[in-house]
Amino acid sequence: MKALYWHWEDGNVKCELCPHNCLVPSGKRGFCRVREHVPGEGLVAVTYGLFSSVASDPVEKKPLYHFLPGDNVLSLGSVGCNMSCPFCQNWHISTWVPQVEMSRIDVNDLLSLVKRYRSKTVAFTYNEPLISYEYLLNSAPVLEKEGIKVVLVTNGLINSSPLSELVPHISAANVDLKTFDESTYKKLGGDLRTVQNTLKTLIGSGVHVEITHLLVTGINDNLAEFEEMCTWISKTLGELIPFHISRYFPVYKWTKPSTNMTLLKKAKEVASKYLKFVYLGNVPGDSDTECPGCGRLAIKRRGYHVSLLDVTPDGKCPACGFNLGIVLF
């Protein structure tokens, strides 16, 4: 599949999908590993329609706590990534190791899978979905036409123009905000301003957004920086955006100790000064949703299972009317 968003430059191709803006020589691939300069053709999306992972997951696993709580979503992942985090939990597919097996799923196949799994939502997840941009752009409108909601679990690293073309077809997204320090973002292969723009664009377009922040020992565990990030989220995106602080465990190239539990709880205290819905991830418990207006229990969770859902059809508290921002359908 011929890639979108690129141009010729001095015999090379210049990719315009993400802020890496890779200048790709003939026969080579960009930073993400999935967009190749094929001689005589230009930039090609070499993994178009290829997937490494297909599963039916609770939506809470994404994590999305305020979007269709209790539902299962058809989840698909491919390979590759446009960042290079040394603590990546899915490094075997993000780095596309040779052992990864792939299956081809065209758009019609995807519709068949949706019917087989009886799912009303499809999530593109596990690796970075935005580098499979052409597949997203072709499949999302088709799913939307069939009444299927499309979810992205993403690092948010995409340029403004391709994002603007895609976003009308996206229902929800969990964006991984890695850090609030630009130099740290650069070391991870990302760009803070781009991710901030993605968050603002998604929310401004009416997409349901939740944020995940993996608190990694020795990477982003400075609470002053963390508080600055929470302040920005509250002032720019709103205090009602669900915020998931996840505990890191040693994996891939990063072997520092797991996130200290005292630090994790302190981070939640800090975040809760600015945000109404703060959750801890990768730890037992601490996943219930309470109404900030009256304290009433709105959603009780045990792991990824919802055992109580007590909100109005439009996502408000039935006791005091506080808008919890919970999407039920």
pLDDT in tens, 240-276: 999 999 999 999 999 999 999 999 999 999 999 999 9
Q: What residues does each domain of the chain span?
A: 6-45, 50-287
Report the share of the chain in percent with pLDDT over 70.
Answer: 100
pLDDT, mean of residues 16-34: 98
The b/e string for 119-156 (b: 16+ C-beta within 10 A; e otherwise) is bbbbbbbbbbbbbbbbbbeebbeebeeeebbbbbbbbb
Q: Which two tokens stand for residue 226?
A: 């963390």
Cα 103 from chain centroid (whole Å): 22
Which whole-number Å values give the CA distances from 120 to 58, 112, 207, 308, in the listed order? 12, 12, 17, 21
C-alpha 124/C-alpha 109 separation (Å) is: 15
Question: What percentage of the chain reaches a pLDDT higher than 90?
Answer: 98
Quote the pTM value: 0.98
Mean pLDDT score, 61-69: 98
Query: According to the model, what pLDDT value does residue 286 have?
Result: 84
Give the pLDDT of residue 241.
Answer: 98
Token pair listed for 56: 């039916």
pLDDT interval class at 32 (50, 70, 90)? very high
Question: What are 155-204's pLDDT values in tens digits?
Answer: 999 999 999 999 999 999 999 999 999 999 999 999 999 999 999 999 99
CATH of domain 50-287: 3.20.20.70
Model pLDDT, residue 322: 98
Q: What is the model's pLDDT at position 11? A: 93
Sign of CA dihedral 93, 96, 97, 103: positive
Query: Does 306 score more than 90 pLDDT?
Result: yes
Average confidence score pLDDT of the chain: 97
Where does the pLDDT of residue 285 fall: very low under 50, low under 70, confident under 90, or very high at 90 and above?
A: confident
Tell me: pLDDT of 82 over 90: yes
Please, which pLDDT band fits residue 98 given cuts at 50, 70 and 90?
Answer: confident
Q: What is the mean pLDDT of residues 27-36?
A: 98
pLDDT of 29 above 90: yes
